[in-house]
A = this chain, B = another copy of it.
Amino acid sequence: MKQIVECVPNFSEGRRQAVIDQIVAAMSQVTGVRVLDVQSDQDHNRSVATILGAPQPVVEAAFRAIAKAAELIDMNHHRGGHPRMGATDVVPFVPVRGMTMEDCAVLARQLGERVGTELHIPVFLYEAAATRPDRQNLANVRRGEYEGLKKEIATDPDRAPDFGPVTMGMAGATAIGARPALIAWNVYLNTGDVAPAKAIAKAVRHSNGGLRFVKALGLVVEGQAQISMNLTDYHQTPLCRVLELIRAEAARYGLHVTRSEVVGLLPVQALVEAAQFYLQLNEFSPDQILENRLGDAL
């Protein structure tokens, strides 16, 4: 099976379209890489790109984008609502097909070394690529943001980067890591009342005692109550388990689920796992999926 990796670099530019275009062009010029999506936020002054491809082309595309962003973005003049520390702020690798999380962590280290050595940008490895437990959480790595880190990186050994110099130029520092695919998923209820949606969101989300890899909010959208969620590890906290928990909580209020929707993209494996659960395919092997047998010959 051909290996496929996703990469979701975040850049500290969401206003100057010409700058964003040049960064995106740097990635799309790499053969074998597809730029699936670019979303820019004016308030955050930040853009998020989603690229897909075989491991080495994706690493190459990410490297070129980081180089281009370093050339065009001066962090000394950057203002925006989202925490940030570098022109290319974070670069997560996400396993899609034929790859483990450790394979992605290897790519993160490989890219990090090149960025540190060739571009002289400090690089911090985070999440599944972290070299220290306290750096798994991106918020710890980015503490103080560009301005704060710039002061501490040279003097505080605890804040020394994994690769690159202990000084920060106008491109700032970059966090490079590996994490599971994130699924944005909304579940609708047969009510226009926000109160049960908020109560159910609270029941299922991790921060209030719910499922480990669920972030959830209760909203009303176009008159219909919605549990709006991010699943940050669909393998460990699968969609079926979240949905069944929502159903049970909704029943308590005499409500039920009318439909659900995936916002954006998800890996097919998330749906395969849901099918296995509901069809009770308890001894199913991925080798039984025709498409998984195509191999490299094709």
Contact = CB atoms under 8 A, between A and B. Distances in A.
Interface residues of A, number: 51
A277 B271 CA distance: 11
Contact of A266 (B280, B290, B295): B290
Interface string A234-251: 000001100100000000
Interface stretch (A14-22, A143-151, A219-227, A254-262): A254-262
Interface centre among A32, A278, A284 (most CB of B within 10 A): A278
Given A279-B240, A288-B266, A289-B265, A294 B34 contact: yes
* Copies of the chain in the assembly: 2
A97 B283 CA distance: 25
Interface string A258-298: 11111011111001101111111111100011111111011
Contacts of A180: none
Q: Which 3 A-B pairs have the closest CB atoms?
A: A271-B275, A278-B278, A274-B275
Interface in A1-54: 2, 4, 6, 31-34, 36, 52-54
